[in-house]
Amino acid sequence: MSTLVPPLYAGLVDDASLLPPSPTGLTEAETKFREHAAAWYAELIGALLVPASVVGSEPVLRLAAALIGDIPVGALSPTVEKLRAAGMVIEHVEAAVARRGEDPQPGLAVLRTFALHEAGRESGTRVWAEIPLSWGLLGALDTVAEARREALPIAPKFRIGGLAAELFPTPVELAAVICACRDRELPFKLAAGLRHATRHTDPETGFTHHGFLNVLVATLLAADGGEVAEVAEALAATHPVPLVEPARSHRDDPRPLFVGFGAANVVEPLTELVRLGLINGGYE
């Protein structure tokens, strides 16, 4: 493990440069990802996220990547097999199981079958089920926990932002989700809304975004047995001061539960971590 990127931040940031509304093409994204993988901060970077809908517009990638299932969940399995046959190496798959307000269980059943198939493969591709933060959430988490007890490579993913205010959970709501994952021993990923290290309000939209450092510190508290109120307090912080010290004190520990999030430009979260003194900026 590089001493430049402490274990707490290893693999925290996925490269989401291909996700809408990005104009970036596959070839350009592959070139940039290889540059990130060769840089001093390489340990910070997770996977290159590739939407299934854009594959086919250019030759398939010749590096391991993560497939974002922005297609009907029922079409996921044949799409994955087709891409593998074309030479694409798929590290993991992320797919939504339902729209907000819909029952997540039918979509989860399809993904569970897919995960069961993947469990029998030598490559061991992981599956991330994107579950809406709405009706049926806790039952869905129970279903995922049951599947994991059967050794299926599946875990939840949550979208915590978007184009409407109701898509941004409050600190208490997100704290409850984090603690629910903690209680079920579920690692989780996040998408949307994590634009900066600390919680802030976007002056253009008026939406208040969660900070990725808030989430990291909140998850550390939850993993240590913290209750929802304590976890929510960390999520609600709008200044880095109460967040930096707990992050620094755990810098050499593996990150619990919070697997990572996607950033359109991975250099932006890197820059904020350097500015806060949590990553040393490329100097020993």
Chain-centre distance for alpha carbon 71 = 18
Q: Which amino acid is residue 98, in one-letter code?
A: A
Q: What is the pLDDT of residues 127-151, one digit of tens each?
A: 999 999 999 999 999 999 999 999 9
Are 8 and 247 in contact, with CB atoms under 8 Å apart?
yes
Query: Can you tell me which residue has the tokens 């030598």?
Result: 122
The answer to whether the Cα torsion of 66, 71, 72, 76 is positive or negative is: negative
CA distance 143 to 102: 16
Are 88 and 60 in contact, with CB atoms under 8 Å apart?
yes
pLDDT at 1: 39
Alpha carbons within 13 angstroms on the beta-carbon side of residue 64 total: 11
Are 258 and 181 in contact, with CB atoms under 8 Å apart?
no
Q: What is the pLDDT of residues 26-68, one digit of tens each?
A: 889 999 999 999 999 999 999 999 998 877 666 777 788 999 9
Of 10-14, 72-76, 129-133, 151-155, the one with minimum mean pLDDT is: 72-76
pLDDT band at 3 (very low <50, low <70, confident <90, very high): low
pLDDT at 229: 98
pLDDT at 282: 62
**How many Cβ atoms sit within 10 Å of the Cβ of residue 165?**
10
Q: What tokens appear for 62 in the block?
A: 């010749």
Nearest to 195 by CA among 241, 271, 243, 263: 263
Mean pLDDT of 10-23: 92
Per cent of the chain over pLDDT 90 is: 77
**Residue 120 pLDDT > 70, yes or no?**
yes
How much is the mean pLDDT over the chain? 92
pLDDT at 85: 84
Q: Which helix (H) or strand (E) holds 154?
A: strand 154-159
Are 43 and 4 in contact, with CB atoms under 8 Å apart?
yes
pTM of the model: 0.94
